[in-house]
Amino acid sequence: MNAFNRLIMLLIALLLIAVPVLLLLIGFGILPANQISPYYRPALESLGGLASVFSYDAGARTVVGLIGILVFLVALFLLLKEIPLGRRIARSTLIEEEPGRETAITSGAVRQLAEAAAREAGADSPTCRLATEKRSYDVACDIRVPGSQNFTELATRARDNIRRALEEQQVPVRDVEVTVQGTASQE
């Protein structure tokens, strides 16, 4: 599914969630009906008796309204999470493109390979993140350094080791960035 289709599906899903929540807020009297467009009058009139049937007091209406708003915000968060904001990550990258010998590597395997290379260089608790640009990876790795080692030296060694390990596996690498998060805990 391409990005345009995904965006349209997200908008439809948002409307399917937002419209009933809005109508319930109006039906329970949380939002005044006279502030809503007259195009929604038939739906409002059909829901008009809902508030009188349950005869909630003002405090209960507020609670129902807050629950409706909370449901709306959770639905909005989940829907917006589907839109990839920020850096794009390719699910897999072709290493060998020769017909009949195509070889692909997943982004999870690339991340694990980068973390293993950082550990091999002496880093503790490496956490790598990937982004792709023009069919090559940008690798950002956060590491912790054992207290007895030089931060700069280990970060440089980890960066070089990550680049070397990925290039040995023919993974296209554009940039490797290593950030030292602090010292490793001593146990």
Domain boundaries, the chain: 3-81, 92-183
pLDDT in tens, 73-102: 777 776 676 666 665 666 777 667 777 777
From 148, 150, 158, 152, select the one nearest 125 (Cα to Cα). 158
Fold classification of 92-183 is Alpha-Beta Plaits (3.30.70)
Confidence at residue 41, expressed as pLDDT on a 0 to 100 scale: 66
> What is the value of pTM for the model shown?
0.53
Beta-bridge partners for 143 = 180
Give the distance, in angstroms, between the CA of residue 185 and the centroid of all CA atoms in the same chain.
29
pLDDT tens, 137-150? 889 999 988 777 78
Segment 33-62, tens digit of pLDDT: 677 666 666 666 666 666 566 666 777 777
Please tell me the distance from the alpha carbon of residue 118 to that of residue 134, in angstroms, as a whole number. Answer: 24
